[in-house]
Structure 1
């Protein structure tokens, strides 16, 4: 089953004294309120973006670091488009994807709820953590090799949401995750003007040459 941790900035109550479970709407409001702001990943329109070498993937400029491996993941709705990227650095692994949202945000709350319900239905241990900086979900689905820990988090931008899923050691070991977290913090998103409904995948392009800085 899912459970919630409390925090000073975003307290969440899982049940009242009578034992009634909190409502879906209450959880959604709490989750939406925990989305981070004022930090990377950045929107291309932001000022004072740190200049560093980045790979140009169209809607996403990804920091380039030594030894990084990229594996494009097709969009399930259109196999001809890149819907996500698997990124491997040493023994650490994560997946990054972008989806369209309303500028007011709120999409991540529903995604977490749906994911939590799906995991609970399969009796997969998981946890949603609300704190002052970010909303995270951890889980340990089983694979042929045994439990495969995962950590999912999201970042809300102007009309976009970046989903990040860490796997393996990066999901449980902060030191193993740090090199990937640095990549996430250095990402720049260029949403573009294409009309996309909330929840639609923002397609990525094949990696282009590394740029020294960031174009707006």
Structure 2
């Protein structure tokens, strides 16, 4: 995949391997690297995996997983929320430059917005690179306000960027996050051939439906918005 084949920094060291949960002695790490995958580079052993077609994203079909679509006021789908094991993962796909990723820049923008809202945050090393963990006020299922944790993930691909937001126990517990991380590894991104500016939302649609209006025509879509709470996913 060239620039994006590793989905992590090419300067990764042996000490980084332990952080990422990989054995430095593993052979051919490039071939063993997990998804998300670009459709054009999907490994043969992944082609028969049942997936739900949502347009720009194809999501593995997992027993017990609930899927909810985030929509703009006119009904255009802008994000998908996956709920599994008491946690949720919100996914948004964006256009990106052909030769450079946007996660470093976007992560900085998110951090600045969080700081401006008085939220605390820190960075952490994850399977796909640097993650941003935010602690901010959230409304619980009973309507009361409390400090909640969400975890932003970013994956740079060829001409696309995938942003994930883990919520619920998965945001602060790696054990709780494993089921949704496994789903993330099986995601396929379908980047259309249309020229799009960086950070433009890639079109999504309901399973089996055609794509609706283009996301760039929609007012008020904020690519930095954290997404729904767990209570809203249920």
* Normalised TM-score (structure 1): 0.74
Distance 1:164 1:138 in 2: 12
1:45 partner SS: helix
Distance 1:132 1:144 in 2: 29
Residue of structure 1 equivalent to 2:51? 54
Q: Deviations over 1:102-141 (max 9, x none)?
A: 0223311121111111111223110022468411000111
How far the C-alpha of 1:9 sits from its partner, in A, is 3.7
Give yes or no for the alignment of 1:112 onto 2:107.
yes
* Greater relative CO (CA pairs within 8 A, separation 6+): 1
Q: Deviations over 1:141-166 (max 9, x none)?
A: 11233111101111111100010000
Give yes or no for the alignment of 1:91 onto 2:81.
no
Distance 1:172 1:131 in 2: 12
* Normalised TM-score (structure 2): 0.68
Q: Which structure features the higher share of helix residues? A: 2
Q: Deviations over 1:28-82 (max 9, x none)?
A: xxxxxxxxx953000011142413111111111100001111111124xx74321
Residue of structure 2 equivalent to 1:138? 133
Distance 1:191 1:9 in 2: 27
Distance 2:127 2:185 in 1: 17
Q: Unmatched 5+ residue regions in structure 1?
A: 1-7, 11-36, 210-216
1:148 partner SS: strand
Distance 1:94 1:165 in 2: 5
Q: How many residues align?
A: 174
Question: After the TM superposition, which residues 6-45 of structure 1 pair with which residues of structure 2 at under 5 Å, given as runs?
Answer: 9=12, 38-45=33-40
8 Å Cα contact 1:83-1:203 kept in structure 2: yes
Moved beyond 6 Å, runs of 4+: none
Q: Unmatched 5+ residue regions in structure 2?
A: 1-10, 14-31, 141-145, 210-234
The CA RMSD over aligned residues, in Å, is 2.2
8 Å Cα contact 2:128-2:155 kept in structure 1: no
Residue of structure 2 equivalent to 1:187? 187
Distance 1:88 1:131 in 2: 20
Give yes or no for the alignment of 1:72 onto 2:69.
yes
The 1:200/1:39 distance shift into structure 2, 3 A limit, reads same
